[in-house]
Amino acid sequence: MVAGYPRTVIRMRYYYTAQQIRDAEAPLLAALPPGGLMRRAAFGLATAIARELGTVSGKTVCAVVGSGDNGGDALWAATFLRRRGAGAAAVLLNPERTHRAALAAFRKAGGRIVESVPAATDLAIDGVVGISGSGPLRPAAAEVFDAVEQAGIPVVAVDLPSGVDVATGAADGAHVKPALTVTFGGLKPVHALGHCGRVELVDIGLDLPPSDIRGFDAADVAARWPLPGRSDDKYTQGVTGVMAGSSTYPGAAILCTGAAVAAHSGMVRYAGTAAAEVVSHWPEVIATPGYATAGRVQAWVVGPGLGTDETGAAALCFALETDLPVLVDADGLTILAAHPDLVAGRSAPTVLTPHAGEFARLAGGPPGDDRIAATRGLADRLGVTVLLKGNVTVVAEPDGPVYLNVAGGSWAATAGSGDVLSGVIGALLASGLPPGEAAAAAAFVHARAAELAALDPGPAPAPTSSSHILAHLRTALGSIL
């Protein structure tokens, strides 16, 4: 373990279920005057919209209002903006069930009730359904937002985009496509999982404990990343063993070992048939033709480009029979899908890093819309840490927390990118980082490196490659550390 680790106070994003938010709101609803909490949230929403508009006076907003509190939030926000000089209109999708107090305040401030969003509107507010809603937009709401989209009017969603599931981020039909989503009190899974645009969190005074769905920020990664202390040497910083690549796929070995080197493993040992190619790229790597002569390591990375023949299976069995942390990827996952007993009862940290297809082979079916529940289910069933790849990476520990990592784009969706990620996770496992945190931190840095690679030479992003992502790992780490 690296001297002095961890070095700073840990902080991270937490995601809450709709019920957790409602439970946290209950004491405030009891303590505040009627409507007080709604006006508090709406004021924060109006403030966020004002920033989005730039200048409030002379601009026009239109709230699309459903029944219940979400519509009330939208009406109150439009009311506050009207009082600051904006033109304000509202489309009432269900007039009989519109929030009465909010509607009265809106009308008193000079807000207009309209049948459709005026073409000259500068910004529309989605106040159709809140965190209790489910399913796609109903036809009337879908028609309104189709017209908004065709007119090019930007949308700010209240709490979440209507038509998008709060727990899974799934949008099975018509849904709002906001530029910005403003949510209150605490983030919900949907804010990581998709369709929200940018997300802004407004503090309304909820007392929320840490949740078991979480996500790292740069500060969290920096606090955990192993850096050499004054008394460290190459062994105490972690020795990463890599069994990857083959005569058919030597590139996987080069990418995986190079990533372990770049992530600052104290030493990287490579064992496999691509030894000559690996050393030609990374002369600091200690390479041998097989695991029997690899020497002492503190974690194994097994699978990328390894092949699924008897040689590959023997390598995987060797690693899993040790008491060392093991990361299994690619061909190793294919072997494991046929022989899940290989990880049964394993007490040492084990990390699996499947993409959707590999996940389906391991789990017996695709992850589906609820990627959090699916990843948790596989982690619990196998007793291992599972990292499900995607634009939102989901990391689940058995009977433990889930980490969500949101990539800025899909720049890492390129051949060999997973080999790079495996090498980074392996280096963190060798340093002694717990498996869930190692996977989450590596996913964060990997996504940052992919983004930097896409911007090089810039300024506009362009398609990149895994070699380019690997070349930007150190830059990504430097920007974080």
Query: Is there a binding annotation on residue 390?
Result: yes
Query: Is there a binding annotation on residue 215?
Result: no
Query: Is there a binding annotation on residue 232?
Result: no
The Cα–Cα gap between 381 and 376 comes to 8
- Give the residue among 114, 160, 106 at the shortest CA–CA distance from 137: 160
- Give the residue among 86, 142, 144, 70 at the shortest CA–CA distance from 114: 144
Q: Is the peptide bond before 459 cis (omega within 30 degrees of 0)?
A: yes
Beta bridge partners of 267: 239
Query: Is there a binding annotation on residue 347?
Result: no
Query: Is there a binding annotation on residue 418?
Result: yes
Query: Is there a binding annotation on residue 345?
Result: no
Query: Is there a binding annotation on residue 272?
Result: no
Query: Is there a binding annotation on residue 69?
Result: yes
SS3 at position 123: strand
Query: Is there a binding annotation on residue 136?
Result: yes
Query: Is there a binding annotation on residue 94?
Result: no
Query: Is there a binding annotation on residue 393?
Result: yes
Could you tell me how many residues make up the chain? Answer: 481
Task: Tokens for 157, please give them.
Answer: 């969603």
Query: Is there a binding annotation on residue 419?
Result: yes
Query: Is there a binding annotation on residue 383?
Result: no
Query: Is there a binding annotation on residue 389?
Result: yes
C-alpha dihedral (135, 361, 346, 225), degrees to nearest 10 = -60
**Residue environment code for 17-54, b if the CB has 16+ CB neighbours within 10 A, otherwise e:** bbebbeebbeebeeeeeebebbbbbbbbbbbbbbebbe
Task: Tokens for 383, please give them.
Answer: 């007793």
Query: Is there a binding annotation on residue 466?
Result: no
Radius of gyration of the chain (CA): 25
Query: Is there a binding annotation on residue 335?
Result: no
Query: Is there a binding annotation on residue 265?
Result: no
Query: Is there a binding annotation on residue 370?
Result: no
Query: Is there a binding annotation on residue 162?
Result: yes
CA distances in angstroms from 414 to 243, 452, 453, listed in the order given: 21, 15, 12
Helix 36-53 crosses helix 69-83 at what angle (to 10 degrees)? 60
Q: Residue 215, class by beta-carbon neighbours within 10 Å (0-12 exposed, 13-18 middle, 19+ buried)? A: buried
Query: Is there a binding annotation on residue 355?
Result: yes
Query: Is there a binding annotation on residue 252?
Result: yes
Annotated binding site for (6S)-NADPHX: 69-73, 130-136, 159, 252, 305, 355, 419
Annotated binding site for AMP: 389-393, 418
Annotated binding site: 69-73, 126, 130-136, 159, 162, 252, 305, 355, 389-393, 418-419
Annotated binding site for K(+): 70, 126, 162
